[in-house]
Amino acid sequence: MTTSAPSKNYADDVSLLVVTLDTNPFFWSSFPFHFSEFLSQVLAFLNSILLLGQLNQVVVIATGCNSCSYVYDSASDKNHASTNGTMPAIYSNLLHNLDEFVAKDQQLTTPHHKPGTIPSSLLSGALSMALCYIQRAFRSGPMHPQPRILCLQGSTDGPEQYVAIMNAIFSAQRSVVPVDSCFIGSNNSAFLQQASYITGGIYYRPPQMEGLFQYLSTVFATDLHSREFLRLPKSLGVDFRASCFCHKQTIDMGYVCSVCLSIFCEHHDKCSTCR
Amino acid sequence: MNNIAGKPLNGDLEDDDEDEANDDGLEAWERAYTEDRSWESLQEDESGLLRPIDTTAIHHAQYRRRLRALASNAATARIQKGLIRYLYIVVDLSKAASERDFRPSRMAVIAKQVELFIREFFDQNPLSHVGLVTTKDGVANCLTDLGGSPESHIKALMGKLECSGDASLQNALELVHSNLNQIPSYGHREVLILYSALSTCDPGDLMETIQKCKKSKIRCSVIGLAAEMFICKHLCQETGGTYSVALDESHFKELILEHSPPPPAIAEYATANLIKMGFPQRAAEGSVAICTCHEEAKTGGGYTCPRCKVRVCELPTECRVCGLTLISSPHLARSYHHLFPIVPFAEISPSSQNDPNHSFPNTCFGCQQSLLSQGFGAGNKAELSVSCPKCKQQFCLDCDMYIHESLHNCPGCESFRHSKSVTIAQ
């Protein structure tokens, strides 16, 4: 079956890094750090991944608030050489595709979100696409690169994506693909903490955005084999408690419906979701 | 080298024993070909040249056929499923299980596949329990009790299992029936019998036992390794289970893994009960407590039962002191994809792909692979692909298999906000 854990025939130290880049305009417009400075640090980081090994591969998926799409694949033959010689080819390719994506994403916006809240980005879609790409890499032959996923996320978690994100996390766990998260928003993201804990990745919230490149290159740039020799940020206190469906509060003890698995904090005679 | 007469030297004793044991009158080079028939994996193509069999195309065709069969059976996608399962696996350890038609022996193949099945079962049904029962010499014994963690069962399987005597279907069913009567009423009771024998040696009337099981709503399924037997078929028909007979090792693996997803719920169990469960928090690093599972002092790690505050080592489990079921939210989340399954994708025939009215992008939406086949002289012929009926995105067959078997999310539906038609109440 394609879904069982792959045999450890990895080509030595060759990584495939799939990055999901949060481009949610609602988040970036209210964030003190500017998107262009963020992007320049991320691009330098991606370039350094490609410099670490000739066979390393980087794929970038943009996570918008209405759609997700691939914006860069270092192994693709559609990449064109640097157009004006002032920046590396990776930068011009990625920026060109990202421009197109953001414009298309904006056209799909409808003003339907609740006022006062920031709509979340579609992390579940980006993770699903990343996992499909990684499965393709597994099929490419016995000496395939070691895949991992890095989520550069700032938007808050969208509770409507909970089931889809958990499905993606369990599938990543089965295929032995670690999901690292670099979360730049204000409060910790429970979904990404759980993702990194369950799949064996790293969750890190950089304290200072000006030094983002340093955090990225010291924490997230190492390949999986070398991680055993490094002291990387440990995850503290991942909260696995559930929230009840009626009040959305986290509970210690609750009642679970045997048919639909909804969680309630008080005993009812009938489950309200099942009827 | 073979059949050296005379006393062997001490150092060669083991070698000679091995040679003689495997010797069927074959030379050593002939023995290599009894197991591996490499000429069977070749076939001729149109021009008479030899080629290795193209397994991916066969794999895809099998997958699509299976999916079509499943789709025609399932009337709607929202059939209620039995998520909290109490499953007994009955392993037949009669003389027939030591037959060597499954290499190396039926018993070894069963042990290996049951281990894989147990891991897969707990992966898909984290709230369920499994117990092992063996039957030989005309009696049935409980190998392990109903438990929620795979390690104890796998350890028991890996121990030495002797095969002898006759299998007894009635004794096994009676044992399982008495054990399953003690479980709570919301649990789904199931038995999976792995039967190698062609007979059963019973103390009484097997039909009565079958009626007893049917009345207690125990769903019995049988996987036969020898041939189809009427009594097994009757048992499965009466209790609503499935009966299948394995043709070879890989078919057996397929058949046993089909039992890991939850079966459709029996109507009487469809009434919802609210079960009290606890969601423990992880204990602080560096705290010392005596854990209730191993009864020794442990530092760090572990979880604290919210009701009686004792330490348990792993989840899911039942607190030994107060009896509360302890789980964490990812365990519940593992079962959500059974409740919200994704629709099977529809095939796109290659002819409609070249139709100018439909604009198919010809790259798979999930993995960005080109869907035009790249064979010799194939030109731009499009390969078989599928599309999601909801978001209309195109996917290759490998992504289709991965999405339906492991991921359970359609990347297309998840990547477009306004195509979400189902909102999960959370």
Chain A residue numbers with beta carbons less than 8 Å from the beta carbon of B414 are 68, 122, 124-125, 128, 161, 164
Identity of the residue numbered B166: D
Q: What is the pLDDT of residue B237?
A: 93
Rounded-to-integer distance, Cα B3 and Cα B284, Å: 67
Rounded-to-integer distance, Cα B379 and Cα A51, Å: 36
Domain A11-240 carries which CATH code?
Answer: 3.40.50.410
Q: What is the pLDDT of residue B71?
A: 65
Helix (H) or strand (E) holding B49: none
Identify the residue with better confidence: A185 or B381. A185
Query: Which range has the worst mean pLDDT, A122-131, B279-288, B401-410?
Result: B279-288
Q: How confident is the model at residue A115 (pLDDT cuts 50, 70, 90)?
A: low
User: Mean pLDDT throughout B21-31?
Assistant: 67
Q: What is the pLDDT of residue B383?
A: 67
Q: Say whether pLDDT at A22 is over 70.
A: yes
Q: Please answer yes or no on whether A162 and B426 come within 8 Å at the CB atom.
A: yes
The angle subtended at Cα B356 by Cα B351 and Cα B359, nearest 5°, is 95
A2 sits in the region (left: phi over 0; alpha: psi -120 to 50; else beta) called alpha
Cα separation values, A26 from A32, A66, A112, A190, Å? 12, 11, 13, 20
Counting residues of chain A whose pLDDT is more than 90, the rounded percentage is: 48
DSSP state letter for B106: H
CA B131, B208, B182, B120 torsion-angle sign: positive
Give which of B29, B175, B34 is closest to B100, Cα–Cα: B34
* Complete DSSP assignment for A106-156: HHT--S-SPTTSPPPP-HHHHHHHHHHHHHHHHTT-SSPPEEEEEEEE-SP
Task: For chain A, list the strands marked E by DSSP.
Answer: 15-22, 57-63, 68-73, 146-153, 179-183, 203-204, 242-243, 250-251, 253-257, 263-264
**Could you give the residue range(s) of every CATH 3.40.50.410 domain in chain A?**
11-240
Task: Pick the residue from chain B with its C-alpha nearest to A274.
Answer: B272
Domains, chain B, ranges and CATH?
81-269 (3.40.50.410), 281-339 (no CATH), 346-373+382-418 (3.30.40.10)
Residues A231-269 pLDDT 10s: 888 877 777 777 777 777 778 888 888 887 888 888 877
User: Which residues neighbour A91 within 8 Å (Cβ) at sequence distance 6 or greater?
Assistant: A43, A47
Query: Which range has the worst mean pLDDT, A120-129, B61-70, B325-334?
Result: B61-70
Give the burial class of B365: count Cβ atoms within 10 A of its Cβ; 0-12 exposed, 13-18 middle, 19 or more buried: buried
pTM: 0.82
Residues B347-381 pLDDT 10s: 887 666 666 555 667 788 988 888 876 554 445 55
Asked whether B232 and B206 are in contact (CB, 8 A), the reply is no
Q: Please answer yes or no on whether A163 and B272 come within 8 Å at the CB atom.
A: no
Identify the residue with better confidence: B373 or A186. A186
Of A76, A166, A253, the CB nearest to B278: A253
Q: Say whether pLDDT at A26 is over 60.
A: yes
Q: How confident is the model at residue B405 (pLDDT cuts 50, 70, 90)?
A: confident
Chain A residue numbers with beta carbons less than 8 Å from the beta carbon of B408 are 167, 171
Query: Which range has the worst mean pLDDT, A162-166, B254-258, B317-321?
Result: B317-321
Q: How confident is the model at residue A125 (pLDDT cuts 50, 70, 90)?
A: very high
Largest distance between two CA atoms of chain A: 71
Rounded-to-integer distance, Cα A235 and Cα A22, Å: 22
- Best residue in A132, A155, A191, A267 for a mutation probing chain B (most B CBs within 10 Å): A132
